[in-house]
Structure 1
Amino acid sequence: MNLLQVIRSDSQQSAYRVVGTQRIIVELGEHQFRVLIQYWNRRRWTIPEYKGVRYLNGVLRDGDGSWVVVCDDLTALSCALSCLPTIYQHLLTPDSDDWQPSEGLKGG
């Protein structure tokens, strides 16, 4: 399923996809949209080390390493995509058919 299909069918409003050793998690919460990038490091999923900008073009970098956009729906997707570092933009591909509901997450 693509991202919109998963989000619309998932009561928790979240989805993820794995691309190689990277995982992207998208969560649509009440009045916010979160994107979290993780790496597989031999035993578990971890977030990359982040330094620098914490707020850019309406996107806040939260303490857990996720990008947060204040919104009520997936219209923030394009904003979040444009603010992600270039090396992660290929992960946030809504039309990809390999998105999974978050209930399938393993190895947090």
Structure 2
Amino acid sequence: MIRPEERGAPSNWGRWGADDQRGTANLLRDVHVAQAAARVTRGKVYPLNAPVSPDGPNLPTRRPTWHVVTTRERVSGNNDMSADDVIMMHTHGTTHIDALCHIYVGD
């Protein structure tokens, strides 16, 4: 990948130091959050999840999602039970587990 500064384009790489993890989010201040909140006129919840199941969306070249639930009696001796989940899935199928840094340069 060619960095923007390598092709002469404007860039913020290194603007806040070599160890910066926030990028342009460094420009956000409390006043900006307050201004944005003041513009809210109604509330609506938008779910961003997708069902986690073998039938969920997935690329044809990838294996389906695998979800196993195990239950067992606990060793306390008072009929307590426990459950554990194991989910194996590709992060670009089902719910997209990712970050804003999906594409990056270097380490």
TM score, norm. by length of structure 2: 0.20
Higher helix share: 1
Whose strand fraction is larger, Structure 1's or Structure 2's?
1
Normalised by the length of structure 1, the TM-score is: 0.20
Query: Which has the higher relative contact order, 1 or 2, with Cα contacts under 8 A spaced 6 or more apart?
Result: 1
